[in-house]
Chain A
């Protein structure tokens, strides 16, 4: 009974105190792409992702009702750091959903304005950026005005605020409504500023350096407890801090001493299952104000995902040469760092020559038939403007037309004997990192799918006569980028190369940039007119060192640019469903394809190749 009353009271009071409009809510998820484009168009950095921000506490003034209800304690701010632009996952401040959406657009536009050099007050910085944005895009003026008035209307009346807050509140309102005039901000504790949804806040990392109140005056009252947005785990960030891992030597003993040395009855309990993964961890993380993460050598759930030791030399593949040095792009400094990566070409030692696996024979026949259309063959081309011989049929028709006083547009009266010329070379580079060890369905792993793809692809190409080479790569830090040679351009395609395809196995990480650079070098030596660099991967570039996230993506992007400059045509085939976010940045529009069902890859790949190569004829 008590619980029921409590629950009822909670529902009633939160609803009464609620100043939000869930029916008019606009979510970030629905607008992410558009906001990204707008952000970039106004000068925002193309490498930044759009992510949803996490909620943080604010100590601004709340109405009595809100305080009773315990709502609106936390807000979702908007800010920009060096990896992403973070916007609230949901905006439901206004009754009009158009206004909620306008607020998103406004935040994206404001975030695109460059940060002014020098140390400015947070309010002054926002006022200045607002002014700059409005000057660049005068058409925003009416929209901004509407938003500003709506935001002011949400703020409590001045006279209801404690007197010491009134002055700062006045200054904030002036800055919102009249961004053209800089007004001095009273030097007054900022602790109690009510969030301003129109403005960006400092990234939390920088807030740490500032007095606590700096983080509290921010924006977007958007309490998670009212309408927790259903976000994908990957799309939402949480506020966390890194703490030191206790060393365990001087720890607090949390059990009574006498039990330590006591005897107990032995119970046969299988304790291993106690160490289950906490399925509810995500929602708990949402509820916690603060997450603490430390680096720990042990994992509680001992699923060892990586195996970092290199095999002993006698078991490892045969290195074909010493490491070849390649540069790497550092986006932070904007420089190509010379000789940073060492690429080691390897040849599988254990590969046994073999035939096409029987399970693939049917698919192979099918693909081969599709490819027959591509086989260049010498034949008579009829109805040509010029050629070795006169096309008699066309000539008779033409003469008849002339007799009949009809004018043929342009007589194509010749025929010619020539070969359809497909002067192209293709290098297929497959990602063999450890992530390919994961299962795509009950029967096969990613690596199996890649292996099948390589089989069918090479089988089809060997029948068309197109020149091709197959390589795989993985990496373990910058000094050991493993570049597996499966088939060079010069080698014939036979049992040996098939055996090497069979021998591919997953290992290590994905340092894509260096592998692409080496592939570029190999491919650009080919004399063909059209050279295609086909990249087959299952995820983002990453490696042990700093090669992850933005760094890896920017380096790969640079490597792709270099390949284009060499006159190559890079194209990426990926089965990473999350790839939509970073792939256009690396490969440009039309430079990649995401295959949603990995098991389709083996059949899709040859067809894709046919499309690519026929497109430019």
Chain B
């Protein structure tokens, strides 16, 4: 492995699956809760495969033109400017649409010809049709647990992707990840992971989202650099998870029970 490879701890066969998908020129959809390592996985895979990575963070107002490109009005003339998707198709590499569910429904339709066996991107405005190179790969991700039920992915879009479900790692793996990412001591890491699993069991009942591995890493880093553990938990785990004062007080009790005084 190259020394510059970003750290990633596989939970299953996702690395091999991704490599097969890349070799077979199939698009991939990754779903999982926030902060469980989706983006890190893609970064890792891009480095591993040695191809460039173009990330587009999707949002409510993302239009098809934002992805594909548009005519800009210059000094007395108009010129075409490629969007990130078009650039990626021209240059090859992974085009990663993060939180694709946030984008408007019509936007995802431009992905259709790219994500089946045609692998083309027609540009209506310029009359061009781009053929994706062999090392082009489309990857999209979304968070199915999001409270935004009003949005869902169109089945016609969803059915074009190989889908991988991500979840929070097992306690054992999570300890490994935390140690690697923060350098915190084994004892701190063990306590944080047990606190994390306690907070995760509150999802759906008391909390909207589960405590992510990312938040645990933040806490571990703070503690490792000498910050008071209970206070580190407050600002990295409790406050990010809830705005409700009573819930926060209860979560703090659990943090105190973990690091205690």
Contacts and interface: CB of A to CB of B under 8 A. Distances in A.
A41 B246 CA distance: 14
A37 B73 contact: no
B207 A589 contact: yes
B201 A567 contact: no
Nearest to B125: A386
B150 interface: yes
Contacts of B65: 385-386
Contacts, number: 111
B166 interface: no
Interface stretch (B5-13, B40-48, B126-134, B247-255): B247-255
Contact of A38 (B204, B205, B254, B261): B254
Contact of B201 (A34, A40, A590): A40
Given A386-B70, A402-B75, A34 B249 contact: yes
Nearest to A46: B205
Nearest to A399: B73
Contact of A37 (B105, B147, B148, B250): B250
User: Could you say which of B60, B202, B207, B257 has the most chain A C-beta atoms within 10 Å of its C-beta?
Assistant: B257
A176 B25 CA distance: 64
A564 B254 contact: no
> Chain B interface residue count: which class?
35 or more
B79 interface: no
A105 B255 CA distance: 13
Nearest to A44: B201
A43 interface: yes
For A33, A41, A395, A615, which residue has the most chain B Cβ atoms within 10 angstroms? A41
B258 A398 contact: no
Nearest to B154: A529
Contacts of A413: 73
A37 B202 contact: yes
A108 to B, nearest CB: 9
Interface stretch (B15-23, B92-100, B191-199): B191-199
A609 interface: no
Interface in B117-171: 147-152
Contact of B205 (A137, A402, A530, A584): A584
A139 B206 contact: no
A527 interface: no
Most buried by A among B202, B205, B259: B205
B236 to A, nearest CB: 16
B239 interface: no
B181 interface: no
Interface string A568-582: 110000000000000
B150 A41 contact: no
B258 A137 contact: yes
A41 B242 CA distance: 14
Given A34-B246, A34-B253, A38-B253, A411 B261 contact: no
Contacts of B249: 34
Contact of A411 (B73, B208, B246, B258): B73
A589 B206 contact: yes
Contacts of A411: 72-73
Contacts of B251: 37, 41
Given A564-B149, A584-B205, A585-B205, A385 B66 contact: yes
Contact of B254 (A41, A46, A398): A41
Interface string A72-98: 000000000000000000000000000
| Residue from B65, B105, B206, B251 having most chain A Cβ neighbours under 10 A | B206
B256 interface: yes
Contact of B246 (A33, A142, A532, A567): A33
Contacts of B148: 616
A410 to B, nearest CB: 9
Contact of B260 (A42, A141, A386, A617): A141
A492 interface: no
Given A41-B254, A139-B260, A615 B70 contact: no
B179 interface: no
Given A37-B247, A37-B250, A38-B250, A139 B256 contact: yes
Nearest to B208: A589
A385 B72 CA distance: 9
Contacts of A105: 253, 257
B105 A529 contact: yes
Nearest to B198: A41
Contacts of B70: 385-386
A567 B149 contact: yes
Interface string B47-81: 00000000000001001011000101101000000
Contacts of A40: 201-202, 205-206
Nearest to A33: B246
Contacts of A68: none
Given A139-B257, A386-B70, A616 B150 contact: yes
Contacts of B105: 529
A109 B257 contact: yes
Given A33-B250, A34-B249, A584-B206, A142 B261 contact: yes
Interface string A26-51: 00000001111110111100100000
Q: Which one of B73, B75, B199, B201 has the highest number of Cβ atoms from chain A below 10 Å of its Cβ? A: B73
Contact of B150 (A43, A395, A402, A615): A615
A529 B157 CA distance: 14
Contacts of A402: 75
Contacts of B199: 41
A111 to B, nearest CB: 14
Contacts of A140: 257, 260
B208 A590 contact: yes
Nearest to B200: A41
A228 to B, nearest CB: 26
A137 B72 CA distance: 60
B140 to A, nearest CB: 18
A136 B202 contact: no
A11 interface: no
B152 A137 contact: no
B66 to A, nearest CB: 7
A588 interface: yes
10 contacts: A36-B206, A41-B199, A41-B202, A41-B250, A105-B253, A138-B191, A139-B191, A139-B257, A589-B208, A617-B60
Interface of A: 33-38, 40-43, 46, 105, 109, 136-143, 385-386, 395, 398, 402, 411, 413, 424, 529-530, 532, 564, 567-569, 584-585, 588-590, 615-617
Nearest first, the 7 closest Cβ-Cβ pairs linking A and B are A139-B260, A616-B150, A37-B250, A34-B250, A137-B257, A569-B149, A41-B198
